[in-house]
Every structure is written in structure tokens, then in C-alpha cells.
Amino acid sequence: MRALLTRIRDSIFRVGWPEDDRKALLAMRSSIILHLHAPKVRPASLRFKATWALGFVSLVLTLSLVMTGIYLMFYYIPHPDAAWRSMKDLAFVVPFGVVTRNLHRWGAHAMVALVTLHMLRVFLSGGYKAPREANWVAGVGLWVLTLALSFTGYLLPWDQLAYWAVTVGSHMVASVPLIGKPTALLLLGDRSVGEAALLRFYVLHCVVLPCVLGGLVAFHIYRVRRDGGLVTSEHAPPEEPRLVPAWPHLVYRELVVTLIVVAVLLAVSFAFNAPLEPLADPGRTPNPAKAPWYFLGIQELAHYSAFWGGVFVPGAFVAGLCLLPYVDRGEAGIGRYWPPERMFACTAFVAIGLFFLVVTIIGTFFRGPAWALMWWPY
Ligand code: HEM
């Protein structure tokens, strides 16, 4: 038995257990997963404050969403007559169905928030500047994909919340001049949300978008390594050794973060059930009909002007993010948060972020029937 276990271990760690630096470096080179890391990393990039682990937590959440999503796919039927019933089956019949659905739903919400915070962290430390421009643009793509994945997943339970949130979202798409209406038609496969839309959202959510996301995440992680690792402060203590082996220093930290993320996700998923409203009813419009929370800022702006608020502002924001590293090229202060040299850029970015946060809070909590402003949470 012992010999069998040793043989299995040696097939994974071909150079034996990485107990010294030489074996650790060989292990990093010979394992496909460990090989994603550089064999050696700068000690400054290991500090928690260097990343707040936000990129890695986003990665763990992505993997957890893929695993729980596959389990949900075994039971889910993408048809208006069956989709809502499959949600009920998951809740009452399928083994671990309710907790798997909760893990997927809460993980998806957390993913939107954490990827956004990761983007904020990279911005504040100047991580988008040369030579990381392409990786920043790939990151912007990942952010848009994360929102698209959440949005397409929102429809699948086929309850009142899903149906009307996606109806509102598709109206926002249709309001784009020239391309809006054809795009909405392509997305829904019909003039309104129905059988064709559910199937299209299902294919996008379960096949197309995850494949694109997987490819882009692989490119993103590869670029982090090729761009010379993370940006770090030039003010690292001079006595600090230049590089340390990624095993065990980085790999053990990642293991701890993974365990914490899994524990928190499980705790939340056992404590709180994902909502399921009554079956979607196209004849009964809720008042107000609201988009998913991460689009409520845009819905709030669209209330003032469909084009300027709903299309121009978000479009200009994403275009501005992509252009940013090619326009803001100064090198001073890179690797430090909100340094005096980058005071204006950081303050402006946080001000824009706060503006979106405030309009999102107004849209989420302070808009009542007919989108009237309420003075208490509605
Ligand atoms: C699925 C979403 C994403 C995943 C899984 C992911 C993963 C990661 C990981 C693991 C790292 C290295 C560690 C860290 O910084 O925490 C990283 C770094 C980086 N990420 Fe992301 N990321 C995602 C989205 C984004 C977004 C939305 C942006 C920006 C728009 C972005 C831009 C960057 C850049 C420029 C770096 C290098 C930063 C540096 O050198 O300090 N990423 N990402």
C-alpha cells in the first residue's frame, strides 16, 4: 500500500516532495499547474497588501462557478415549461441541489464585486502601465465578460425576478442607436423574452461565454508572469533578498486563501438560500421592474436619458478603461497605492467609482413604483 501511495505521489511530484529549494524549482517547472507560476517571485509581491489576494480570489471563484455550474447543468432544462420546475427540483429533490445552487448564485454575486475591486486595486497601484497595457485591456474584457455571464445566468431560473430583470436589460440594449434593436433581436431571438431567449441565454451562459472567459483568464495569468510578475513598490527594504522560490512561499499562501474562500462560500450558502420568485408571468409586470443590481446604476442613469445615461456613459467608461494605459504613461509612483505623483488619476478614478456606487444604491434601494424616488429603502 505504502509503495502504491509513493508511486502515485511520484507520478505527480516527479522530482519527489519539494523539500529543498532545488527540488522546489524543479517541481514548479515539471507540474502543469505549478508551472503557471514563475519558479521564483519577489518577496514584496507576496505581501497581502500587494494584491489583497483579489485576483487569486477571482480565480478561485471562477473555478467554483464552473464546478457548481456543471452540477446544475445535469438537472436544469432550458425551456419555459420546465426551467422553473428544475429550480424547485434542485431545492427539494436533488441531493445537495439547494446548496449547489446557493454556491453558484452567491459565488456569481461575489465574483462581480471582487473582479471590480481587483480592477480598482490594479488601477490604484498603477498596474496598468507599461509593460502591462495588454493585460489591463484583457482584464477589462474579463470584467465585461463577468457582467455578461451574470446577466445571462440571471434569466435561467425563469421566475418573475429573472424574467423582468432581463426584459429591462434587453430594453436598455435596444435603446442603443442603430445597432441596439438588431442586437436585442439577435440576443432574444424574438421581440420579447421567451422560449428563444431562454435557449440563447443558456447556450451563451453555459458554453460560449465560459469558453471565452477560460481562454482570456489563461492569457491573463500567462501575461502576469511574462510581464515580470506583479508591480511592487520600489521602496522595498534594501536588505530584502531579491527572489524566493514560489514553492512553498506563494503556493502555500494560495492554498490558505482557497480554503478561506471555500469556507466562507459554504457558510453563506448553508445560511442563506438563493431567492426563487413565482413562475415568470409575461402578463404581470412588477412595479418597478428592476435590472440585476450591478446594472441598476445604469438603469438609474437611463431613467434620465436612455441614450446618454444607458448607453453613452457606460460605453465611454469601458472605452476609457481600454485607452487608459496608452494615454496615462507616466512612470512615477508605480507599485504604491494612491502615491502623491498619481494623486489626480487615483482621485478621479475613485470619484467615478463612487458616483457609480451612489447611483447603484439609489436604483437598488430608493426607487419605488413608477421609478419614483423614495426616502426610505423600498
Ligand atoms: C475573471 C477575472 C479576473 C481574474 C481571475 C484575474 C486574475 C488575476 C491574478 C491571479 C492576478 C495576479 C495576482 C493579483 O493581482 O491579485 C492578476 C493580476 C492583474 N490583473 Fe487580473 N484578473 C481578473 C480580472 C481583471 C480585471 C477586470 C482587470 C482590469 C481591468 C485586471 C487586470 C490585471 C492586471 C493589469 C494585473 C497585473 C497587476 C500587477 O502587476 O500588479 N484583471 N489578475
| Whether residue 65 has its Cβ less than 6 Å from ligand 1 | no
**Does residue 143 have its Cβ closer than 6 Å to ligand 1?**
yes
Identify the residue whose C-alpha is closest to ligand 1 atom 1.
Answer: 142
At residue 57, the pLDDT reads 98
Q: How confident is the model at residue 241 (pLDDT cuts 50, 70, 90)?
A: low
Q: What is the mean pLDDT of residues 154-174?
A: 92
Domain ranges of the chain: 46-233+240-291
C-beta 54 within 6 A of ligand 1? yes
pLDDT confidence bin for 333, thresholds 50/70/90: confident
pLDDT, one tens digit per residue, over 7-66 is 887 777 777 777 788 888 887 777 777 788 888 888 889 999 999 999 999 999 999 999
Q: Report whether residue 217 contacts ligand 1, using a CB cutoff of 6 Å.
A: yes
CA–centroid distance, 167 to ligand 1, in Å, is: 32
Answer yes or no: is the C-beta of 115 below 6 A from any ligand 1 atom: yes
Is the beta carbon of 128 within 6 A of some atom in ligand 1? yes
Using the atom order of ligand 1, give the atom closest to the CA of residue 137: 30
Res. 237 pLDDT band, cuts 50 70 90: low
Question: For ligand 1, atom 22, which residue shows the shortest CA distance?
Answer: 55
This prediction has a pTM of 0.94
HEC sequence for the chain: CHHHHHHHHHHHCCCCCCCCHHHHHHHHHHCCCHHHCCCEECHHHHCHHHHCCHHHHHHHHHHHHHHHHHHHHHHCCCCCCCHHHHHHHHHHCCCCHHHHHHHHHHHHHHHHHHHHHHHHHHHHCCCCCCCCHHHHHHHHHHHHHHHHHHHHHHHCCCEHHHHHHHHHHHHHHHCCCCCHHHHHHHHHCCCCCCHHHHHHHHHHHHHHHHHHHHHHHHHHHHHHHHCCCCCCCCCCCCCCCCCEEHHHHHHHHHHHHHHHHHHHHHHHHHHCCCCCCCECCCCCCCCCCCCCHHHHHHHHHHHHCHHHHHHHHHHHHHHHHHHHHHHCCCCCCCCCCCCHHHHHHHHHHHHHHHHHHHHHHHHHHCECHHHCECCCCC
Confidence of residue 172 (pLDDT cuts 50, 70, 90): confident
**Average pLDDT score over residue span 204-226:** 96
Q: What average pLDDT score do residues 146-164 get?
A: 96
163 lines ligand 1 (CB under 6 A): no
Domain 46-233+240-291 is in which class? Answer: mainly alpha
